[in-house]
Amino acid sequence: MTGKIKGTGACPGDRLVTNEDLAEIVETSDEWIYSRTGIKTRYLSTGRGTSEMAAEASRRALENAGIHPEELDLILLATSTPEYCFPSSACQVQEKIGAVNAAAFDISAACSGFVFALQTACSFLASGSFQRILVIGADDLSKITDWSDRKTCVLFGDGAGAVVMEAEEGGLFRGVMHSDGRKGRVLTCLSRSEGNFLTGKKPEYGFTSMDGQEVFKFAVKKVPECIDQVLSDAEISKEEIRYYILHQANERIIEAVSKRLKEPIEKFPMNIREYGNTSAATIPILLDEMNRAGKLTRRDKIIMAGFGGGLTWGAVLLEW
Ligand code: ACO
């Protein structure tokens, strides 16, 4: 028993913001941003938070799958930007879409979140615990971005993507997940500072901070390694893979991974130019675009790979 993706959906932030728009608020340029990252525009949310974007992406995925919300028995939502400590964003989505029979919880693995959630879903489906699972990646990064810090603010966008998975006999699934908490400082965002009536500290909120070059080195080393690991576990050759759908953090990272794997860049679809980096949402948004454009054919073997804060990284091999 494995999991099959039955439908996809996406919901980006509502406002298109260009590199030129950002050049009006920080000292930067379209040339600098595009040449280093491949990003031209991103969508930011001006009203809808993580759970509302996630709910809309989920409605579209359910419609695409032809499955009613009451038929879902689990909702997994990967995010770093929940609106509440509790309830979870997954529970908010459950309410918004009317998935009354589903259990729901969030997964926190930063930009690797969707890949981690997908593997969690596949393991539950393989074990027979659940039959239909909604897997969502959603992030409202603009609320944790320091809009006066040009090193980070040019990179990110807001959005959500979702897939509906169903248990199916046969099929193919292999996955690997890794974490290295010792390197957590490379990419951080404080959620709220410690403090109570004894310490007398006032609550403090943090913004995303990143050692860009360390992230770059980490990604181009670890992503090819975990893809190789998945291929070797599944005893499948690179030639059999139709697409490598990577976390859209940076065009140069994706190009470097393609070179290290000695696989043509055409097998690495990208949409970072339009959406920027939407963290846990990049992979499902791209998957939805490809699905709706008819670029995926049943039985295509695809690998999805994520990497991000934690540090965390992982890859999943599935048959479409
Ligand atoms: N516009 C203009 N100049 C800038 C900007 C900007 N937006 N940002 C930084 N600079 C300047 C810096 O101040 C510095 O100037 P200085 O030399 O006078 O001090 C110069 O550009 C070079 O800065 P670096 O930080 O060294 O720039 P680098 O060439 O490393 O590029 C980048 C930065 C694009 C972030 C690169 O490190 C990278 O690709 N890292 C990968 C990390 C990544 O993609 N993270 C995404 C989020 S994390 C994730 O999703 C897992």
pLDDT per residue over 236-281, tens digit each? Answer: 999 999 999 999 999 999 999 999 999 999 999 999 999 999 999 9
For Cα atoms 149, 51, 153, give the angle at the middle one, nearest 5 degrees: 10
Q: Using 50, 70 and 90 to split pLDDT, how confident is the model at 191?
A: confident
> From ligand 1's centre to the CA of 142, what distance in Å?
18
How do residues 102-138 score in pLDDT, each as one tens digit?
999 999 999 999 999 999 999 999 999 999 999 999 9
218 in contact with ligand 1, CB cutoff 6 A: no
Only one residue has tokens 């810090």, namely 149
Q: Which atom of ligand 1 is nearest to the CA of 213?
A: 37
**Which amino acid, 63?**
E
The response to whether residue 107 sits with its C-beta less than 6 Å from ligand 1 reads: no
The answer to whether residues 273 and 41 touch, using CB atoms and an 8 Å cutoff, is yes
Q: Whose CA is nearest to atom 3 of ligand 1?
A: 28
pTM value? 0.96
Q: How far apart are CA 87 and CA 70, in angstroms?
A: 20
Report the Cα 70 to chain-centroid distance in Å.
Answer: 25
Ligand 1 atom 26 nearest Cα = 213
Q: Which residues pair with 175 in a beta bridge?
A: 316
> With a 6 A CB cut-off, is 37 part of the ligand 1 pocket?
yes
Distance of CA 210 to CAs 18, 186, 188, 279, 311, Å? 22, 6, 7, 14, 12
Confirm if 109 and 307 have CB atoms less than 8 A apart.
no
Angle subtended by helix axes 251-261 and 212-234, to nearest 10 = 40
Q: Is the pLDDT of residue 201 over 80?
A: no
Residues annotated as catalytic (active site), given as ranges? 111, 247, 277
Phi, psi of 259 (to 5 degrees): -65, -45
CA–centroid distance, 152 to ligand 1, in Å, is: 8
SS (H, E, C) 32-94: HHHHHHCCCEEEECCCCCHHHHHHHHHHHHHHHHCCCHHHCCEEEEECCCCCCCCCCHHHHHH
Q: Which one has a higher pLDDT value, 2 or 235?
A: 235
Instruction: Provide the phi-psi class of 276: left if phi over 0, else alpha when psi is between -120 and 50, else beta.
Output: left
Distance, in Å, from the CA atom of 280 to the CA atom of 277, rounded to the nearest integer, reads: 9
Cβ density class 154-166: b for 16+ within 10 Å, e for less: bbbbbbbbbbbbb
Q: What is the pLDDT of residues 12-36, one digit of tens each?
A: 999 999 999 999 999 999 999 999 9
- The alpha carbon of 52 is separated from its chain's Cα centroid by a whole number of angstroms, namely 16
* pLDDT value for 33: 98
Distance 59 CA to ligand 1 centre (A): 37
- Both tokens of 189, joined, read 């965002």
